């Protein structure tokens, strides 16, 4: 049986008494209702339009990422070719140093360890009589024949003839 004492009802948590007693009222938080809940009465599922928009966004991102990946693979291949060409150019210059002071003119050939790569060398005079300019190009792509070009100056180390 309920007592009519408001203090006991407040302790019990009697809702009717709390509504009647202005001292016991506490402000209720406002809860915003989503449009989906307002119209459909449930929030358990996505609409078809939302799913399609999400798929378009994700597929656009994936296409962009695949394009970047393909570009990176192409750059890696180009960098490998450039590294091979640079090392081959250094090897040819070292061989030229061991052979002695080079004669003027042009020369070239294929790289035996790297099929598809070839080299061209041009030796020219400079203003100084005992220094020669060696321009060496390693070519592996005819579209870019100057992709790897090395300019080297070599001094004549032979003893001057008297």
Instruction: Sketch out the chain's domains with CATH numbers.
Output: 72-155 (3.30.1300.30)
Of the listed ranges 42-46, 69-73, 149-153, the least confidently predicted one is 42-46
Nearest CA to 114 out of 147, 149, 141 is that of 141
Q: What's the pLDDT tens digit per position in 73-105? A: 999 999 999 999 999 999 999 998 898 888 899
Q: CA dihedral defined by 17, 22, 26, 32, rounded to 10 degrees?
A: 90
Q: What's the rounded Cα separation, in Å, for the pair 74 and 62?
A: 19
Q: What is the pLDDT of residue 52?
A: 95
- Do 87 and 108 meet the contact criterion of CB atoms below 8 Å apart? no
Q: What is the pLDDT of residue 142?
A: 84
Q: What's the pLDDT tens digit per position in 2-42? A: 556 666 655 665 555 555 555 656 666 676 766 656 666 66
Q: Against a cut of 0.85, is the pTM above it?
A: no
User: What are the start-end ranges of the H helices in 26-146?
Assistant: 35-40, 48-99
Nearest CA to 161 out of 125, 129, 117, 120 is that of 129
Q: What's the pLDDT tens digit per position in 108-161? A: 999 888 888 999 999 999 999 889 999 999 999 888 878 899 999 998 887 777
- Do 125 and 99 meet the contact criterion of CB atoms below 8 Å apart? no
Q: What is the pLDDT of residue 143?
A: 85
């Amino acid at each position: 049986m309920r007592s009519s004492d408001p203090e006991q009802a407040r302790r019990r948590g009697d809702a009717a008494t709390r509504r009647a007693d202005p001292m016991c009222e506490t402000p209720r938080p406002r809860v915003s209702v989503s449009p989906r809940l307002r119209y459909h009465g449930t929030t358990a599922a996505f609409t078809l339009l939302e799913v399609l928009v999400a798929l378009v966004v994700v597929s656009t991102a994936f296409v962009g990422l695949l394009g970047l990946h393909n570009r990176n693979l192409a750059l890696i291949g180009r960098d490998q070719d450039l590294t091979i060409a640079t090392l081959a150019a250094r090897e040819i210059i070292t061989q030229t140093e061991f052979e002695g002071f080079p004669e003027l003119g042009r020369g070239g050939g294929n790289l035996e360890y790297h099929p598809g790569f070839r080299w061209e060398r041009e030796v020219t005079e400079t203003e100084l009589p005992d220094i020669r300019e060696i321009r060496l190009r390693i070519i592996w792509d005819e579209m870019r024949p100057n992709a790897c070009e090395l300019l080297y100056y070599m001094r004549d180390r032979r003893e001057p003839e008297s």
